[in-house]
Amino acid sequence: MQKVNILEALATINEHWSQKIIGEANGQLFKVARGRGTTLWHQHDDQDELFIVYKGHLTIQLRDQNIDLYENDMFIVPKGVEHCPMSKDEVEFLIVGLNITSNEEGGKPRRGGAPDR
Amino acid sequence: MQKVNILEALATINEHWSQKIIGEANGQLFKVARGRGTTLWHQHDDQDELFIVYKGHLTIQLRDQNIDLYENDMFIVPKGVEHCPMSKDEVEFLIVGLNITSNEEGGKPRRGGAPDR
């Protein structure tokens, strides 16, 4: 039972669109991630995905609208809904779901696999 | 599908230790709450309870230690673990779990039932 400072956890991430687990409660993983640029369109048929922005501006592109999230904004992408997160500049966020989704199936761009920091 | 600003949601609460639901994902409720003073010792046998502080200082008293949470600190009280949240001054936080726990069984003090703002 340890507390975690979310900003400090975010500062340890050195790869874009790569989730790091900081806690688990009731089967949900609480993960931090940083992003810049765009991911790929994808959907999760098994889980809702919840975002809370801590720094910067994250755009959740949906097929019919864009959701623009800034600090302390929370948004839930329901299961089965296509989405494509992107950020022109650096963004830091918390993401909650059933497992790690920062993989190719989860829209992670291939180039994002290389450390950029 | 609406975004929610967590600080704005916190600002609408006019009762201490009273949770307000702002979202649901994968069966988990994301709730905001404000507190001041102490709750009562209690435990949840059915769920883990996760806290993230947004403003102020929240102390999660456990039987063998105190966990002091400040802005952006996250802490999970595992199911079955006795705890007693308290805050000397005003604190604002996000709480995640399976249902609303701001009731007598969940340690809400009786006096907290009266609006104080």
Decide if B26 and A98 are in contact by the 8 Å CB cutoff.
yes
Q: Look up the pTM and report it.
A: 0.92
Average pLDDT on A4-17 reads 97
B79-93 per-position pLDDT tens digit:
999 999 999 999 999
Decide if A23 and B50 are in contact by the 8 Å CB cutoff.
yes
The residue among A69, A74, A101 with the most chain B CBs within 10 A of its CB, best to mutate, is: A74
At residue A113, what is the residue type? G
Q: How many CB pairs under 8 A join A and B?
A: 100
So what's the pLDDT on residue A30? 98
From CA B101, how far away is CA B64, in angstroms rounded?
Answer: 23
The residue among A26, A47, A52, A65 with the most chain B CBs within 10 A of its CB, best to mutate, is: A26
Element (H, E) at B18: none
B67/B110: higher pLDDT: B67
Decide if A48 and B25 are in contact by the 8 Å CB cutoff.
yes
At residue A23, what is the residue type? G
What string of H, E and C letters represents the secondary structure of B25-86? Answer: ECCEEEEEEEEEEECCCECCCCCCEEEEEEECCEEEEECCCEEEECCCEEEEECCCCCEEEE
pLDDT for B113 beyond 70: no
So what's the pLDDT on residue A111? 65
B40 close to A (CB below 8 A)? no
B75/B102: higher pLDDT: B75
Using DSSP's 3-state secondary structure scheme, residue B111 falls into helix
Q: Identify the band that residue B111 occupies on the pLDDT scale cut at 50, 70 and 90.
A: low
A24/B109: higher pLDDT: A24
pLDDT for B63 beyond 70: yes
A38-60 per-position pLDDT tens digit:
999 999 999 999 999 999 999 99
Q: Identify the band that residue A113 occupies on the pLDDT scale cut at 50, 70 and 90.
A: very low
Element (H, E) at B6: helix B6-11
So what's the pLDDT on residue A104? 83
So what's the pLDDT on residue B110? 78
From CA B37, how far away is CA B15, in angstroms rounded?
Answer: 12
Measured between beta carbons, which residues in chain B are less than 8 angstroms from residue A78? 1
B61 close to A (CB below 8 A)? no
So what's the pLDDT on residue B65? 97
Decide if A25 and B76 are in contact by the 8 Å CB cutoff.
yes
The residue with tokens 């199936």 is A105
